[in-house]
Amino acid sequence: MANLAVLASGNGSNFQSIAERFATQYRHRLSCLIYDRRNAFAAVRAEKLGVPSHYVSYFKRPREEAEEEIGLYLARYEIDLIALAGYMRLFTPGFVGKQQGRILNIHPSLLPKYPGTRGIEESYCSPDRELGITIHYVDAGIDTGSIIVQPSFHRNGTESLDEISERIHALEHDTYPDVILKLLNQL
Ligand code: GRF
């Protein structure tokens, strides 16, 4: 049995797909959600799904202090793996070093193309025919950690931005929970 924490800042659809997938198995536990924006919809989802959730503020305090608080939750739940799911913060090299390859992230483009917050729009506006997502380990950079998987699909060019966004999110929801479970199985 290994313990997972999900960190999210916003909508939390990936958090929900992870929670629903974890509910179909007994081997590992989704122990908690940690969120850094008071109005994160992910927290509403957590409540409905019966997953403990904790707010950690970054407001007017050094990043290190917020990370220390996160560290207390990680210790309390004996967390083995951290999955970022739309978490809009960069960690300090100190925190990343301490977690040593135990933090994952999901990004809605085929990295190293289109890092940052506009991955879907930039992919959509590019001439690329092959689009997709990346699940990678987290380092102290922006979407730069080593890549674990990159499932993709081909577009024909007639799709709208909404259609492409939907397809990317569906691919995320299909892929992330299983990758997480597979990594937990290997611990
Ligand atoms: C996802 O597209 C993910 O790839 C990116 O942020 C988005 C989060 O969506 N890192 P949600 O909050 O899980 O709905």
> Catalytic annotation on 107?
yes
Residue 146: predicted pLDDT = 96
How much distance in Å is there from the Cα of 182 to the middle of ligand 1?
Answer: 20
Residue 41: predicted pLDDT = 98
What is the average pLDDT score of the chain?
97
Ligand 1 nearest-atom number relative to CA 105? 10
Do residues 77 and 30 make contact, with C-beta atoms less than 8 angstroms apart? no
Helical packing angle, 161-185 and 13-22, nearest 10°:
40
Task: Tell me the two tokens of residue 102.
Answer: 């135990």
Percent of the chain with pLDDT over 70: 100
Percent of the chain with pLDDT over 90: 97
Number of H helices, E strands in the chain: 6, 9
Q: Mind listing the pLDDT tens digit for each residue in 24-59? A: 999 999 999 999 999 999 999 999 999 999 999 999
pLDDT at residue 20 above 90?
yes
Phi-psi domain of 50 (left: phi exceeds 0; alpha: psi -120 through 50; beta: other): left
Containing H/E element for 166?
A: helix 161-185
**Which of 106, 111, 124, 173 has most ligand 1 atoms within 8 Å of CB, for mutation?**
106
Reported confidence tier of residue 98, pLDDT bands at 50, 70, 90: very high
Nearest by Cα to 133 from 86, 180, 176, 99: 176
Residue 104: predicted pLDDT = 98
pLDDT at residue 84 above 90?
yes
How much distance in Å is there from the Cα of 85 to the middle of ligand 1?
Answer: 6
Residues with CB under 6 A from ligand 1: 8, 10-15, 85-86, 106-108, 172
Ligand 1 nearest-atom number relative to CA 16? 13
Cα–Cα separations (whole angstroms), residue 178 to 21, 90, 93, 120: 8, 25, 28, 22
Q: Mind listing the pLDDT tens digit for each residue in 110-147? A: 999 999 999 999 999 999 999 999 999 999 889 999 99
How much distance in Å is there from the Cα of 169 to the middle of ligand 1?
Answer: 8
Residue 100: predicted pLDDT = 82
Nearest-CA residue for ligand 1 atom 6 is 86
